Structure 1
Amino acid sequence: MLDLAIIGGGPAGLAAGLYATRGGIKNVVMFEKGMPGGQITSSSEMENYPGVPQVVDGITFMAPWTEQCTRFGLKIEMENAVRVEKVGSHFVVHFEGGKSVEAKAVIVATGSKPKRAGVKGEDEYFGRGVSTCATCDGFFYKGKEVAVLGGGDTALEEAQYLANICSKVYLIHRRDEFRAAPSTVERAKKCDKIEFVLNAVVDEILGDASGVTGVKVSLKDGSSRQINVPGIFTFVGLNVQNGVLKDDAGNSICELTPGGNVKVNHKMQTSLPGLFAAGDLREDSPKQVVCAASDGAIAALSVIDYLREHA
């Protein structure tokens, strides 16, 4: 039986593994269905992590985390956890394919993934001109015009990233104000390759057999506009990855908010003893890497206390 199972390999999960093993927990395994790193690996720039003054992309930023976090004995297994259940005083983590493991405590740090915009044509052309990752797909539009949909930090940051590759970026936002940090907005406004299309709603993503050919936009004044581009990048928020916390009947094994985030206290404890949540999964998460790492460390230290109390 594991002393601790960590589900999720982003900043929260990796930090939890580091603090748990360095804190003396011997049998700790982190389960991640792909390579560790998390959502931040899709970001084109990281500039606000304390102690890292240089601006780097998300993949470069996360590269040393795995090495550091495994130094004290954390094991990483590429398994897709699908369900956690509590059986008596311990937990059973079930994986895709039927495998399962038992653990005395569990930290869930499964994070979130980009939402779909719900625009006509989005599903049809996803992967054929519709993308949620500028770092992954921006190169395909080198020297071409593209559109970006969204008004948060990610949308504006990725628009700036694309402006370094593309000939022009149309930034489409349904309001004339942004959720992004003022400094991010100011930098985007100074970029002469970015055209702001504000108070606008994308009605449809247009395309043909070869992929996206443009987007139809409705403006606040009642007029419409067609923007001819071969690609659109959508950044309209995140979906909470809480499926692992649902039982066979679809009921949550711990208390969730109406939005699906996990309710935790300041120790990252959920309503189910021995189960902890960290990072973007938990309620009121600021969705910043430094905060996710902090959550993971707090959760791990709380697990140390929990295991000591239940030895």
Structure 2
Amino acid sequence: MYKSIVIGTGPAGLTAAIYLARANLSPLVIEGPEPGGQLTTTTEVENFPGFPEGIMGPDLMANMRKQAERFGAEFRTGWINSVDTAKRPFTLNLEGGETLEAETLIISTGASAKYLGIPGERENVGHGVSTCATCDGFFFRGKKIIVVGGGDSAMEEAHFLTRFASEVTLVHRRNELRASKIMQDRVRENPKITLGLNRTPVEVVAGDNVVSGLKVLNNETGEEEVIETQGLFVAIGHTPNTKFLGGQIETDEHGYIVTKPDSSETNVPGIFACGDVQDTKYRQAITAAGSGCMAALDCEKYLEGHATHDWSQSV
């Protein structure tokens, strides 16, 4: 039995753990197969306050984890198969048959960027391949960039990247973009953006950890060609990691957890959500950390008025 269990160890989950631990709530933090979240796949982080010279993504996450441990947070690696939210205490069913109980839950399982699934892509993440223009655009100043995608997110990424890149090529496998008209018009009117429609990405071309091009299939001619680039931004959407909840927590049509306005509270009392698992707009490390703070404070306040377990008898 735990007062609070935090599920996920990205910036949101670790910040929540720091705040809960400092409040003497002894949280248990469950980390899945990717401890630290998406920041562990990035190289240098330059936009997190407090690091004027920047910091490596994995180092930032390691520091946050050490800080939570320093105040008494407990960590456990495991895969959660399902959660029973029908009654308190809540029950977590882990892979291997183990079960855990908690008075409160903080869900910070994030959202996983969708990838193309082509050769050379995953191994070059952080070395020319990115899924976040806001995070990494600065590193491609004066360079040629490719953005893959056809929706509003891809249009926003391409338009944003023209602040840094010498030119941006927008690659989409269909002949028409599916983005809203206003976003399409903005892209078509930008002199730095070239449309590469009817082209299906086939392979990321790279050598010595440096991306040099994207091999595509020209769907009109049936021939393969290589588009020169020094950076590839994949903008085909994200998938929130909420499947394990089994529909017990309210989500939107895309699977993101719905929280109450100006709060981290979900539709189930005692369960809170923070970070990218409920953020469809900002998706930044600093905003995730801020929402983790909110979730911890909301959780602490909830426990003050709804505790059902006599913790004075616990060891």
TM-score by length of 1: 0.74
Letter in 2 for 1:179: E
Deviation per CA, 1:3-35: give whole Å up to 9, x if none: 111100100100010001111213x10000246
The residue that corresponds to 2:164 in the other structure is 187
Alignment coverage as a number of residue pairs: 271
Query: In structure 1, the residue corresponding to 2:286 is in which secondary structure?
Result: helix
Q: Contact conserved, 1:107 with 1:276, CA < 8 A, in 2?
A: yes
Distance change in 2, residues 1:72/1:285 (3 Å): farther
Per-residue deviation at 1:131? 2.2
Letter in 1 for 2:98: K
Q: 2:282 aligns with which of 281, 286, 303?
A: 286
User: 1-side partners of 2:88 and 2:17: how far apart?
Assistant: 22
Deviation per CA, 1:83-125: give whole Å up to 9, x if none: 11124221001111221101110001000112134xxxx4xxx
Distance change in 2, residues 1:303/1:83 (3 Å): same
The residue that corresponds to 2:215 in the other structure is 214
Query: In structure 2, the residue corresponding to 1:70 is in which secondary structure?
Result: helix
Query: In structure 2, the residue corresponding to 1:261 is in which secondary structure?
Result: coil
2:248 is equivalent to residue 261 of structure 1: no
Within 5 Å, give how 1:159-174 maps onto structure 2. 160=140, 171-173=146-148
Unmatched tracts of structure 1, length 5 or more: 139-145, 247-251
Query: In structure 2, the residue corresponding to 1:104 is in which secondary structure?
Result: strand
Distance change in 2, residues 1:179/1:224 (3 Å): farther
The residue that corresponds to 2:291 in the other structure is 295
Letter in 2 for 1:171: I
Unmatched tracts of structure 2, length 5 or more: 169-191, 205-212, 308-315
User: 2-side partners of 1:183 and 1:213: how far apart?
Assistant: 20
Distance change in 2, residues 1:183/1:129 (3 Å): closer
User: 2-side partners of 1:173 and 1:14: how far apart?
Assistant: 32
Distance change in 2, residues 1:233/1:304 (3 Å): same
Query: In structure 1, the residue corresponding to 2:46 is in which secondary structure?
Result: coil
Which has the larger displacement, 182-191 or 57-66? 182-191
The residue that corresponds to 1:56 in the other structure is 55
Query: In structure 1, the residue corresponding to 2:163 is in which secondary structure?
Result: helix
Distance change in 2, residues 1:232/1:300 (3 Å): same
Distance change in 2, residues 1:304/1:284 (3 Å): same
User: 1-side partners of 2:61 and 2:23: how far apart?
Assistant: 22
User: 2-side partners of 1:33 and 1:272: how far apart?
Assistant: 23
Q: Contact conserved, 1:171 with 1:197, CA < 8 A, in 2?
A: no
The residue that corresponds to 2:113 in the other structure is 114
Per-residue deviation at 1:188? 2.4
Q: Contact conserved, 2:162 with 2:193, CA < 8 A, in 1?
A: no
Q: Contact conserved, 1:42 with 1:134, CA < 8 A, in 2?
A: yes
Within 5 Å, give how 1:140-151 maps onto structure 2. none
Distance change in 2, residues 1:228/1:88 (3 Å): closer
2:266 is equivalent to residue 270 of structure 1: yes
Within 5 Å, give how 1:219-234 maps onto structure 2. 226-227=225-226
Letter in 2 for 1:296: G
2:117 is equivalent to residue 130 of structure 1: no
User: 2-side partners of 1:149 and 1:24: how far apart?
Assistant: 39
Query: In structure 1, the residue corresponding to 2:45 is in which secondary structure?
Result: coil
Distance change in 2, residues 1:174/1:199 (3 Å): farther
Distance change in 2, residues 1:94/1:285 (3 Å): farther
